[in-house]
Amino acid sequence: MARLSPSKVRLREGNHMDLSCTTSGVPSPELIWNMVLVSNYEIETSGQISWLRLSNLSSLDHNSKISCTAENIVGEKESSLLLDILFPPKITKLSDAIPDHHWCIPFSVAGNPTPQLQWFLNGEAVTEGVYIMTMIHDVTEREYHGCLQLDSPTHLNNGRYTLVAKNEYGTDQKEVEAHFMRKPWDGTDKEPYYYALSTGAPPDPVDPPEDRVAVYVVVGIAAVAFTGFLLMLVVLKFGGNSKFGIK
């Protein structure tokens, strides 16, 4: 038999804790501790009782398993627990927006208890709804992975996004720039030039297409008028010398 005491551990990051494991059996079992920890620890054993002394608990050990096993030739018994370490939020990732089925600003946040998340756009709180919402896609031992999902964002959604994560032990925040769509021309800037194709120096500005069309129309009218004028001269010249002409 193996009995771990206490059966639950819920402490803040940085604290200390002693665990004891008591074994019994015939023949006397071997006592084995099993764990992989970042936190500092020491083991002391006396007879069938062993103590695991944890110090400076790390948030990286949240949800880590600690077990003690009593083993002899008859078999083995195990007693275990999961560390419940309380710590303030930490935003471990906030990336540029990526297009998918929807636009997504990916993030990863650690914290215990579960952090409350709030988004801001250019300093103003983002109101979440059908078209903008926080989605959590995966939960690991100590982190929450998700994204701010945007459905068909426009230039009005461009700007600096701030993610604030908060629980009763603290707050963390990070920022990222997101650009979804070019802002439409609002008429405040000078009307842009249209440029001819060139492979050399920067191109000289040319007339806009509508101006070129107007020039072509004027030239065409002038050509028709000139052609008509020439025809009239020919008719007048040769018509006067015709034998059928009127004297």
CATH number at residue 124: 2.60.40.10
CA distance readout (Å), 36 to 41, 64, 209: 11, 8, 73
Residue 143 lies in a domain: yes
For residues 83 and 6, membership in a common domain is answered with: yes
For residues 69 and 42, membership in a common domain is answered with: yes
Residue 191 lies in a domain: no
Are the beta carbons of 94 and 110 closer than 8 angstroms? no
Residue 205 lies in a domain: no
**Which amino acid, 194?**
Y
For residues 101 and 83, membership in a common domain is answered with: no
Residue 66 lies in a domain: yes
Residue 64 lies in a domain: yes
Tell which of 64, 87, 110 closes a domain. Answer: 87
Give the tens place of pLDDT for each residue, 8-57: 999 999 999 999 999 998 988 999 999 999 999 999 999 899 999 999 99
* Dist CA 245 CA 247 (whole Å): 6
Residue 14 lies in a domain: yes
For residues 56 and 122, membership in a common domain is answered with: no
Q: Give every CB contact of residue 137 below 8 A, 6+ residues apart in sequence.
A: 145, 146, 147
CB burial readout 73-96, b (16+ within 10 A) else e:
eeeebebebebebbbbbbbeebee
For residues 21 and 73, membership in a common domain is answered with: yes
**% of the chain beyond a pLDDT of 70:** 79
For residues 70 and 128, membership in a common domain is answered with: no
- Could you give the angle at the alpha carbon of 183 between the alpha carbons of 177 and 188, nearest 5°? 125
Residue 200 lies in a domain: no
Chain centre to alpha carbon of residue 234:
80
- Could you give the angle at the alpha carbon of 85 between the alpha carbons of 83 and 91, nearest 5°? 125
Range of the domain at 80: 2-87
For residues 128 and 170, membership in a common domain is answered with: yes
Tell me: pLDDT of 103 over 80. Answer: yes
Tell which of 145, 178, 211 closes a domain. Answer: 178
Q: How many CB atoms are located within 10 Å of the residue 143 CB?
A: 15
pTM over 0.85: no
Residue 104 lies in a domain: yes
For residues 121 and 83, membership in a common domain is answered with: no
For residues 64 and 115, membership in a common domain is answered with: no
Give the tens place of pLDDT for each residue, 160-174: 999 999 999 999 999
H or E segment and range at residue 124? strand 124-125
Nearest alpha carbon to residue 148 among 167, 166, 172, 175? 175
Count of structural domains, the chain: 2
Q: Give every CB contact of residue 81 below 8 A, 6+ residues apart in sequence.
A: 4, 6, 7, 8, 9, 19, 65, 66, 67
Tell me: pLDDT of 139 over 50. Answer: yes
* Dist CA 22 CA 1 (whole Å): 8
For residues 74 and 104, membership in a common domain is answered with: no
For residues 104 and 148, membership in a common domain is answered with: yes
For residues 60 and 43, membership in a common domain is answered with: yes
Are the beta carbons of 172 and 118 closer than 8 angstroms? no
* Dist CA 15 CA 159 (whole Å): 41
Tell which of 57, 87, 117 closes a domain. Answer: 87
**% of the chain beyond a pLDDT of 90:** 63
At residue 65, what are phi and psi to the nearest 5 degrees?
-95, 135
Residue 226 confidence (pLDDT): 72
At residue 240, what are phi and psi to the nearest 5 degrees?
-70, -25
Residue 120 confidence (pLDDT): 97
